[in-house]
Amino acid sequence: MMPSVEEVVLRRIELPLVAPFTTSFGTQTSREVLLVEVVGSDGTTGWGECVATRLPFYSEETVDGCESLLVGTLLPMLFAADIDHPAGLEALFAPIRRNKMARAALECALWDLYARSNSVSLASALGGTRDEIEVGISIGLQDGDEALLDRVGAAVDAGFRRVKVKVRPGRDVAMVTAVRREFPEVALMVDANSAYTLADADHLRGFDDLELMMIEQPLAHDDIVDHAELARRIRTPICLDESIHGVDDARKALQLGAAALVNIKIGRVGGLTTSVRIHDLCRDAGVPVWCGGMLETGIGRATNIAMTSLPGFVLPGDTAPSANYWTRDLITPEVTMERGIVAVPDGPGLGYEVDRPWILELATRTRTVRADSRTPALVD
Ligand code: OSB
Ligand code: MG
């Protein structure tokens, strides 16, 4: 059982990244984060992080849009309903189209509330079986090959279990060939963030001799048909990220042969309940999954770690330690790694302490919505 939610506090913070992060769609130097804190009737609170970005370049969602939808629509729907388990949110929000990151931020907070209130770890509440997880690193586009080789070398020295390198037209096959030459043994993959089209198939075949674990999202963010065709033309396994927004997308992608692997991001699919269902579907189909990242603070990172304890997460995720991203994280202790292994905490909920004083200091805007506040009409 989950306590009823008495109020929800939305806080906005901006946190600079320790280093700029560049993908084929742009450079991020900081994250603008929307945090959701749900306060239960038993005094317990749960935390969720919204992974939407300031600009709609990864997906159509934005931080401002998510905040607006939560205040105007999702919270009134929650307060009008009688939800006694976080899994109930999936059905409650089913009439809403997309807006997955906004939904996930609230759903993750409810899962944390549920787990804390029942004195169990979020990992075990979700059905997790592992007490340690393997992690990889996602390395953004660098100014030149030398800088990239330095970054990969540092990652290998630190013991990361897998190295992912961002690519884009002009910085791809030759660059990754140089990485492979210098690091013949490293578990290596690339992520294109939708930078190519099917017309690039011959060029992308240049990756085939580099023994990559996979190429992530080479084609359009909303495509699964061209990816299936590309899969017939290249040997490197294709992993989908941007194209998968729910269980049906995953089912159709597997059916078409568009994905040999799936990157699960809790925010992109609308929450933990849906993430677990995609995990189950892929596990039954023998398709490996791994946990993607959205440069999360410790709150979203802790949620990712709990989910990765499920048995189908057989490949290292993008859940690198806090110090990769932040000078001071929002949780204590921060996430640390020992030779590519992160321990799954067994304390209640997220299993880390949320650094509330630090969050209050950072907060640039705080909005509290109470369950008994006047509910706006939910019909047009
Ligand atoms: O495509 O996986 C991606 C970061 C922001 C948006 C999209 C992606 C990423 C990453 C970084 O690759 C993963 C991480 O370290 O959190
Ligand atoms: Mg990706």
CB atoms closer than 10 angstroms to residue 130 = 14
Q: Which atom of ligand 1 is nearest to the CA of 193?
A: 1
Please say whether the beta carbons of 292 and 260 come within 8 A: no
Element (H, E) at 282: helix 272-284
Please say whether the beta carbons of 240 and 262 come within 8 A: yes
Q: Which pLDDT value is given to residue 376?
A: 56
DSSP string, 2-21: -PPEEEEEEEEEEEEEEEEE
Burial environment of residue 124 by CB neighbours within 10 A (0 to 12, 13 to 18, 19 or more): middle
Q: Which pLDDT value is given to residue 236?
A: 98
Adjacency order of strands within the sheet including 188-191 = 137-139, 163-166, 188-191, 215-216, 238-240, 261-264, 289-291
Once rounded to an integer, what is the mean pLDDT over residues 142-169? Answer: 98
In this predicted model, what pLDDT tens digit does every residue of 30-48 receive, in sequence order?
Answer: 999 999 999 999 999 999 9
Q: Which pLDDT value is given to residue 373?
A: 79
* pLDDT of 206 strictly over 80: yes
Place of tokens 């901006």: 14
Q: Which atom of ligand 1 is nearest to the CA of 293?
A: 16
Q: Give backbone dihedrals phi and psi of 62, rounded to 5 degrees, phi first.
A: -135, 160
Select from 112, 122, 100, 70 the least CA-distant residue to 271: 100
2 alpha carbon to ligand 2 midpoint, in Å? 33
Q: Which atom of ligand 1 is nearest to the CA of 296?
A: 16
Q: Which residues line ligand 1 (CB under 6 A)?
A: 58, 138, 191, 193, 241, 292-295, 318, 320
Report which of residues 243 and 380 the model is more confident about: 243
In this predicted model, what pLDDT tens digit does every residue of 299-339 receive, in sequence order?
Answer: 999 999 999 999 999 999 999 999 999 999 999 999 999 99
**The amino acid at 58:** Y
Please say whether the beta carbons of 37 and 113 come within 8 A: no
Q: Which pLDDT value is given to residue 220?
A: 98
186 alpha carbon to ligand 2 midpoint, in Å? 19
CA distances 190 to 124, 219, 320, 344, Å, are 32, 13, 16, 27
Q: Which pLDDT value is given to residue 352?
A: 98
Q: Which pLDDT value is given to residue 311?
A: 97
Tokens of 34: 């929307």
Q: Which residues, 6 or more positions from 337, have their beta carbon under 8 angstroms from its beta carbon?
A: 135, 158, 159, 160, 320, 321
Instruction: Report CA torsion sign: 93, 293, 195, 250.
Output: negative
17/32 Cα distance (integer angstroms)? 10
* Percentage with pLDDT > 70 across the chain: 98
Q: What b/e sequence results for 333-369 when a residue is b if at least 16 CB atoms lie within 10 Å of its CB, and e otherwise?
A: ebbebeebebebbeebbbbbebbeeebeebeeeeeeb
Helix, strand, coil fractions of the chain, as percent rounded to 5: 35, 25, 40
Exactly one of 100, 164, 252, 265 is catalytic; name it: 265
Burial environment of residue 145 by CB neighbours within 10 A (0 to 12, 13 to 18, 19 or more): middle
Q: Which pLDDT value is given to residue 186?
A: 98
Measured by CA distance, the residue closest to atom 12 of ligand 1 is 138
Once rounded to an integer, what is the mean pLDDT over residues 66-90? Answer: 97
Tokens of 251: 């089912």
In this predicted model, what pLDDT tens digit does every residue of 346-375 receive, in sequence order?
Answer: 999 999 999 999 999 999 999 999 998 766
Q: Give backbone dihedrals phi and psi of 126, rounded to 5 degrees, phi first.
A: -85, -10
CA distances 229 to 244, 252, 342, Å, are 17, 14, 37
Q: What is the mean pLDDT of the chain?
A: 97
Select from 227, 225, 219, 173 the least CA-distant residue to 196: 219
Q: What are the beta bridge partners of residue 189? A: 164
191 alpha carbon to ligand 1 midpoint, in Å? 9
* Percentage with pLDDT > 90 across the chain: 97
* pLDDT of 377 strictly over 80: no
Tokens of 325: 């991203």
236 alpha carbon to ligand 2 midpoint, in Å? 16
Looking at the CA of 262, which ligand is closest? Answer: 2
Active site residue 265: yes
Measured by CA distance, the residue closest to atom 4 of ligand 1 is 294
Of 137, 168, 294, 301, the residue with max ligand 1 atoms within 8 A of its CB, to mutate for a pocket test, comes to: 294
Q: Residue 333, preceding bond cis, omega within 30 degrees?
A: yes
Please say whether the beta carbons of 134 and 108 come within 8 A: no
